[in-house]
């Protein structure tokens, strides 16, 4: 789950993005609705979810993809989201993403999945704009022993040191915002 301020930032970025949006890990649609309510078909928005049941303490689901679809329908956003069901790094899923992009580049990528952000970026970097805006949830460890969260932070710190990504900031509940490459100015201000 994302903090309301983080959802608002995601919504704003989605409303400005010029290429396409890729989301990995929509669950039942919190972040997906924040993005789709801004894009509304103006740019392609593709989300990848591997599905299944999840015993979440406050928002459990027996069928993630069915609940994602139901929630999008409830708010009238079904037509603005292409849902792909599978693991993000599967070649067949990547092929479907490429087809859905129709030659456009990903300019906003939101990852809130299994913590392996480095593998996802590696898988999709050739489909991303040079200055693609990146959003990764679970940046900081909130409780000891949560491997997913420390995986995100350790990859980001390495990538920042190597100049692969540049940090914009970390918003509440530990969602990292940044851009590909070594400078953030172009990505955010290109269209102003």
Ligand X SMILES: C[S@@+](CC[C@H](N)C(=O)[O-])C[C@H]1O[C@@H](n2cnc3c(N)ncnc32)[C@H](O)[C@@H]1O
Residues binding ligand X (CB under 6 A):
1-2, 24-27, 30-31, 48-50, 64, 87-88, 112-114
Cβ 146 to ligand X shortest distance, Å = 12
Cβ 63 to ligand X shortest distance, Å = 11
Of the candidates 171, 181, 104, the one whose C-alpha atom is nearest the C-alpha of residue 135 is 171
Comparing CB distances to ligand X, the nearer of 17 and 71 is 71
Cβ 6 to ligand X shortest distance, Å = 9
Comparing CB distances to ligand X, the nearer of 131 and 137 is 137
Comparing CB distances to ligand X, the nearer of 27 and 155 is 27
Contact between 80 and 19 under an 8 Å Cβ cutoff? The reply is no
Q: HSE (CB half, 13 Å, CA atoms) of 110?
A: 29
Comparing CB distances to ligand X, the nearer of 13 and 24 is 24
Cβ 103 to ligand X shortest distance, Å = 24
Tokens 């609705």 -> residue? 33
């Amino acid at each position: 789950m994302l903090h309301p301020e983080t959802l608002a930032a995601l919504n704003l970025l989605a409303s400005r993005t010029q290429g396409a949006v890729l989301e990995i890990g929509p669950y039942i649609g919190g972040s997906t609705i924040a993005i789709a309510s801004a894009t509304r078909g103006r740019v392609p928005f593709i989300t990848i979810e591997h599905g299944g049941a999840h015993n979440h303490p406050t928002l459990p689901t027996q069928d993630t993809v069915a609940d994602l679809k139901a929630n999008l329908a409830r708010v009238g956003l079904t037509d603005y989201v292409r849902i792909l069901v599978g693991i993000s790094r599967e070649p067949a899923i990547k092929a479907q993403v490429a087809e859905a992009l129709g030659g456009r580049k990903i300019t906003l990528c939101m990852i809130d999945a299994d913590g392996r952000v480095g593998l996802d970026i590696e898988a999709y970097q050739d489909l991303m704009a040079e200055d693609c805006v990146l959003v990764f949830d679970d940046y900081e460890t909130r409780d000891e022993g949560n491997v997913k969260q420390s995986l995100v932070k350790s990859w980001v710190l390495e990538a920042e040191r190597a100049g692969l990504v540049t940090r914009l900031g970390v918003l509440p509940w530990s969602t990292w915002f940044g851009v590909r490459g070594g400078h953030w100015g172009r990505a955010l201000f290109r269209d102003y």
